[in-house]
Amino acid sequence: MNMNLLVALDFDGTLAALKRDPAAVRLSAARRALISRLGKKAGARVLIVSGRPQAFLRRALAGSGAALAGEHGWLLEGIGSRWRHPRLALRSRQARALAAAARAAVRDLPGVRVEAKTAAVAVHWRRAPGVRRDPAGLRRVLAALLPDGWRLAGGKKIWEFRPADAWGKGEAIALAARRLRARVVFIGDDETDEEAFRRLGRGAMTVKVGPGRTLARERVRGLAGVDVMLKRLTKA
């Protein structure tokens, strides 16, 4: 029996090139059209699953027809009824307090920017030369702020406070797949994507973008490789 296909994609570093200013990242018109074509294929759905806030994803993916799971999968819309993690309200209140503490802790570090999300706090250091020389030093400062129920995770020129609840991108993708009764293809490039590769296991087709050790079953070299794979899925 044929199954539906869920194609889940990270955003930064997978669909859009990384930039020094995260707010300047944009989805190209060609890639938006490619996502739209794939989503219109019979039995296929596209899900963008990202650490970005849901509001950012709505703007960035407007007109693409893709379903969205922001905040590392703590929100899901576009596949069945709109869903939010039951602890989201609590973690949102805690995140606001944590963001204020983080801003105070890094105020003397030029180039470091604190981004308060709904259920996470990102500390960007891509534009901080001093931190680029010693990212572990910034991590120690931030680790001292960790409240119970939270963890500190790394990424590409970022440290991020995230809830320690056993929920992330992989769980959100699995939830969407159950709703669709679909087999899964997941393409990502970052540490949080490795967590999802582990969660989805051998039952999914997992694809790593770029170099580095990975749990994914396949690898593409960069965004151009992602395009090739999406075109292949559209024609399959």
Domains and CATH numbers, the chain: 4-84+167-235 (3.40.50.1000), 88-163 (3.30.70.1020)
- Taking residues 3-23, report their average pLDDT: 92
- Taking residues 67-93, report their average pLDDT: 97
pLDDT tens, 198-222?
999 999 999 999 999 999 999 999 9
Just list the catalytic residues.
10
pLDDT at 14: 97
Question: pTM for this one?
Answer: 0.91
Interhelix angle for 223-235 vs 29-39, to 10°?
A: 30
pLDDT at 236: 81
The band of 19, judged by pLDDT with boundaries at 50, 70 and 90, is: confident
pLDDT tens, 99-136?
999 999 999 999 999 999 999 999 999 999 999 999 99
Quick check: 2 pLDDT over 80? Answer: no
At 188, give phi and psi (nearest 5°): -155, 170
